[in-house]
Chains A and B, each alone.
Chain A
Amino acid sequence: MMRWILFAVGRFAVGVSLAALAAATAGAAEFRVGLVLDRGGKDDKSFNSSAFLGATEAKTKLGIALKVVEAPDDNAFEPMIRGMAEKRFDLIIGIGFAQQEVIQKVALQFPDRHFAIVDARVAEPNVRSLVFAEHEGAFVVGAIAAWSSPGGKVGFVGGMDVPLIHRFALAYEAGAKHANPRAVVTTSFVGLTSAAWNNPPRAHELAVSQYDSGVEVIFAAAGASGLGVFDAAEEKKKLVIGVDANQDGLKPGRVLTSMLKRVDQAVYASIAEAQAGRFAGGVREFGLANQGVDYSTDQYNAQVLPAALRQRADALKAEILAGRVQVPDYYQRKP
């Protein structure tokens, strides 16, 4: 027990010192934004990288002062967010559902500070909730996966076993079965704690196990752990689908597409509006309809995702938007 306490204390100390390293060089008159990233870290090339990209873009284009911190563990969120609120940051953005409770708590205690949170809903007037219709995008890439798998065997590797990732998994499976009613979907999760967002070796083993069992395409919705799935796809010469950011260029030719979740746009727009004095609380939703969720096409996946498939995918998107195809939502499911 003692060893774990020591461990936790030590890691917290490391986190705080890293935070100090990253401390902003903010002038007094600047608009100051604090970005609190999730466990995957700014270089997960996925969810957090996307948020970081949006914030750095705001820094260059809008001239804000940006402070980015990463949480070494879940207990570090509160001191980081509270610290920013106490230092009178103009906008504090929490990335990931793990910060929901902390943002709720701190927002109540600092009613004149402005907050935003991605992937969670916080019903306080000074919090903007940025939520995504992940299921819509997952359904489309599920169909793309099934179309690209002659054997009809597709896989899913999720990060932490939480409702958000089940939302991806449920719609992905439905999309695959929509495209090919006989498709078989194998689903695995990296782990049960937030460490599952950053455990590439485990994700790699899960992916190898799936590919060995005949799976031809894997959708990796696992934050930084997803990089292990990309390695497995490269070793086994199979296909992988990226998540959140455009990951097509990570292993060109092996990445079928990426399910884009434009966290970068959501973060950028929130900063821009807040800086212009138009901050508003409430829920802002991003989905297929406003391109907040999409699938990626670029020079890296032109070979593996030919024009014919892209047309079918676009047709499917149109049908979903017109309401002719129903996408199951894990959040709305009936028990």
Chain B
Amino acid sequence: MSDEFKIEIVNPEKSFLSKKDVNEVVVPAFEGEMGILKDHISIISFLKPGIITIQAKSGEEKYYVEDGIIEFKNDTLSILTSYILNLKDIEKNKLLELLKNAEEESNKPEISDQLKYLADQKVETLKSIN
């Protein structure tokens, strides 16, 4: 029996990615990173800014996401996200711009703790890519 499952990543504009030969996916869930294998229990969770790592037969891929919702059901992992980038084609300038925006956001005095936490996560992730 193969231990592969299906993954679908959609953003509002299009279906971003669809793969059928995935062995493992690690997502930055809100309460900590979460690895998903085949036959995982049905789950709904949401994401914080971070890196999605997809281990597939065709190789490993990494994506940067800012937010999202994941749903795992019947061996299909659906990820809805409004902002996603493939780490492979990310450009240095774009990265710096994102980092600058995130830092600005986290340094705003009047934001709530939760937003501050999310912004800090963003900064940390972007720095680790850099």
Bound pair (A, B): no
